[in-house]
Amino acid sequence: MTAESIDKGMAGVVAAETELSDVRGDLGELVYCGYNINDLAENACFEEVIHLLHHKRLPTPDELAALKQDLASRREIPQGVIDLIHTIPDEAAPMHVLRTAVSALGCYDAAAETGEDIALARDKSLNLIAQIPVLIATFHRHRQGKKLLANDPTLGEAANFLWLINGEKPSADMERTIDICYILHADHGFNASTFSSRVTIATLSDVYSAITSAIGTLKGPLHGGANEGVIKMLHEIGDLDKVDAYVEDCLTHKRKIMGIGHRVYTTLDPRAPHLKRMAQTLTKELGEPKWIQMSERIAELMLEKKNLNANVDFYSATVYYSLGIPTDLFTPIFAIARTAGWTAHVLEHLDGNRLIRPRAQYAGDDGKPWLALAER
């Protein structure tokens, strides 16, 4: 192995086969289990995508109805976990809280250790898909000094989450907007958080540990945390007429512009146009078009000057902000959606499990003589 053959970020390294999603970076395409993301975003609901990723086929009408009912029945979280969340400082970052709370869920599950039992792991996976939105809402309501609302079993996953954080039943348009966001974020190949979940489950740890690993990975600003950085950037710029100078200053001083460029896509991220259209509609309805106007100008300049396109985080930030969702809940919403994919990868890896153990090229010194403590 030579230094030239080592890539610290493992770019281009094929670690395993998967039937779950295919990120075709050179074509700007994303496929879930054979279905183009555009078709899924336009036609599916999130629960259909959960079934697709877990079973690698779309559900029948009866299966979809049963899944919705099953998820709704799994939303209640242990009182001990609620009590734990209530002890966390209100100013804590929600992603820190979510990571801690998911780990705590495992402490209240007497059958948390699933080994290679895929059926049992799937049961834990469905619990987490249903409960992670409730964990986020529990903390959000508590820090606002508001009572946690009861889950509504008549609502789907997207609508129930909006109900829990806002205290109002969402409009059909608002529910569909979040539903599409969930679909677009549900899976994306061997991204950093997905890979960390597979590394963890490969040791035959447990599903709670695998998803805790994934959440800790997602929260980084170079992964899921980028969407929060986008809205902070837009607020820093302030107005459309300041965009050009801001971009020029960033390029001159080699500062990263959040939401621009992608590690895999060499052309447009196929998820971005869906989010852009929703952002355009929402900002128009709110009478605050400057957010999407600034975003569009940044995207135009970065394509022109650096040949870099906007990614999924770039427009999702404006969508969430326009819906009145607090900035620090942007990445937790990403986690809600990606739990469908993380758990699907956990189940896929357990089917023929193999420990993930790459090598490292040692680059340190050798042959050093021992020195007594007094001689150092």
Q: What is the pLDDT, as a whole number, of residue 265? A: 81
CB 152 within 8 Å of CB 236: no
The yes-or-no answer on residue 173 being catalytic is no
Q: What is the pLDDT, as a whole number, of residue 266? A: 76
Element housing 32 (H / E): strand 29-32
- Least Cα distance to 257 among 218, 313, 215 occurs for 313
**317-347 residue pLDDT tens:** 899 999 999 999 999 999 999 999 999 999 9
DSSP classification of residue 204: T
- From 188, 313, 345, 349, active-site residue: 313
Where exactly are the structural domains of the chain? 21-221+328-350, 226-322
**164-185 residue pLDDT tens:** 999 999 999 999 999 999 999 9
Question: Could you say which architecture CATH assigns to the domain 226-322?
Answer: Orthogonal Bundle (1.10)
Query: What whole-number distance in Å separates Cα of residue 231 and Cα of residue 229?
Result: 6
* pLDDT above 90: residue 286: no
Q: What is the pLDDT, as a whole number, of residue 285? A: 86
Check the CA dihedral 95-334-200-206 and report its sign. positive
Residue type, 35: Y
Query: What whole-number distance in Å separates Cα of residue 194 and Cα of residue 201?
Result: 11
* pLDDT above 70: residue 376: yes
CATH of domain 21-221+328-350: 1.10.580.10
pLDDT band for position 4 (cuts 50, 70, 90): low
* pLDDT above 60: residue 143: yes
pTM of the predicted protein model: 0.92
- From 51, 54, 185, 262, active-site residue: 262
Read off the pLDDT of each residue in 58-84 and give the average, rounded to a whole number: 98
The yes-or-no answer on residue 313 being catalytic is yes
